[in-house]
């Protein structure tokens, strides 16, 4: 088995490769796909150039590969085209397992991030690829900037209301990707993955307090007020609206669900919120 991991120099891609090795994969059977191969030199596995905007590089990267882990791109608005290039090449190469890191309830969610993932899942299905869909909830590490800000101000302001987030650490999600890539089976499954505990932003503020040693208060903020505050902080209108829409999705329950699938896949409890935050403090 030869496994190609795309986005190998990103935070999640690096962890997937590390988890594959820890779970017994021969490093020579793992291929790291990276736009800048120099940045992947420390991964300990063969590296190939893979640029989502260069189909020829994708075709070359897939030579001899039978399993692909497509780590979703980070460029919002461009991801569908980028993912399509990998999907088309994987179909042509005849891969036997195609793992994709998607978003929670991608095909039905109102979350502002969902449409690109929904479109990608539809492309995978239309291509007839033998796929495993991993619908990853929020990464706890996403809150590093909020933690740093709260350490300075004592405030966590957000438009999430009493909505809950079933976050887990990137390592937890990386382990799940490694498991489904290495194990027989899983093809045809759509896994909704989240942390064992869904927490509120009040809980997040309490976690910040524990880590920083100062009282941190959660301050709910209305959508329009949040957009205005983000604009004042220097964000353009589109980005401010996007961030506020993410919070609105959380408020409405888009990230609240977890049925324990992630912990069952990885064979251990997911990383607790405070522990995950301490790692990025």
Six-digit token string for 250 = 């959380």
Average pLDDT, the chain: 95
Which tokens hold the place of 238?
Answer: 């589109």
State the Cα–Cα distance between residues 248 and 61, nearest whole angstrom: 39
Q: How many domains does the chain have?
A: 2
Residues 35 and 111 in one domain: yes
Are 82 and 201 in a shared domain?
no
Q: Which residues fall within 8 angstroms of residue 272, CB to CB, at 6 or more apart?
A: 197
Tell me: do 126 and 7 sit in the same domain. Answer: yes
- SS3 state of residue 165: strand
pLDDT in tens, 25-68: 999 999 999 999 999 999 999 999 999 999 999 999 999 999 99
Based on the domain organization, do 15 and 131 belong to the same domain? yes
75 pLDDT exceeds 90?
no
User: CB-side exposure of 227: number of CA atoms within 13 Å?
Assistant: 12
38 and 109 share one domain: yes
Summarised one tens digit per residue, pLDDT across range 230-268 is 898 898 988 899 899 999 999 999 999 989 999 999 999
Strands 131-136 and 30-34: unpaired
* Residue 150: domain span: 139-167+195-256+271-281
Answer yes or no: is 173 within a domain: no
Distance CA 207, CA 274 (A): 6
């Amino acid at each position: 088995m030869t496994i190609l991991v795309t986005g190998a120099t990103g935070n999640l891609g690096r962890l997937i490769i590390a988890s594959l090795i820890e779970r017994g994969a021969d490093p020579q059977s793992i291929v790291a796909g990276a736009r800048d191969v120099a940045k992947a030199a420390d991964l300990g596995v063969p590296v190939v150039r893979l640029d989502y905007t260069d189909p020829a590089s994708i075709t070359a990267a897939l030579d001899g590969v039978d399993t692909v882990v497509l780590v979703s791109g980070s460029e919002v608005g461009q991801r569908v085209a980028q993912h399509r290039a990998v999907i088309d090449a994987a179909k042509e190469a005849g891969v036997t397992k195609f793992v994709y890191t998607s978003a929670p309830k991608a095909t039905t969610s109102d979350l502002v991030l969902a449409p690109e993932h929904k479109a990608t899942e539809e492309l995978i299905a239309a291509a007839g690829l033998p796929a495993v869909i991993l619908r990853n909830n929020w990464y706890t590490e996403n809150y590093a900037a909020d933690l740093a800000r709260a350490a300075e101000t004592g405030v966590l302001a957000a438009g999430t209301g009493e909505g809950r987030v079933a976050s887990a650490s990137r390592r937890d999600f990386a382990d799940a990707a490694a498991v489904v890539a290495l194990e027989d089976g899983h093809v045809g499954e759509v896994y909704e993955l989240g942390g064992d505990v869904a927490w509120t932003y009040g809980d997040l503020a309490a976690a910040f307090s524990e880590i920083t040693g100062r009282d941190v208060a959660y301050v709910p903020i209305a959508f329009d007020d949040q957009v205005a505050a983000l604009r004042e902080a220097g964000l353009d209108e589109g980005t401010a609206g996007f961030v506020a829409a993410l919070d609105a999705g959380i408020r409405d329950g888009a990230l609240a669900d977890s049925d324990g699938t992630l912990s069952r896949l990885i064979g251990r409890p997911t990383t607790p919120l405070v522990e995950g935050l301490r790692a990025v403090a």
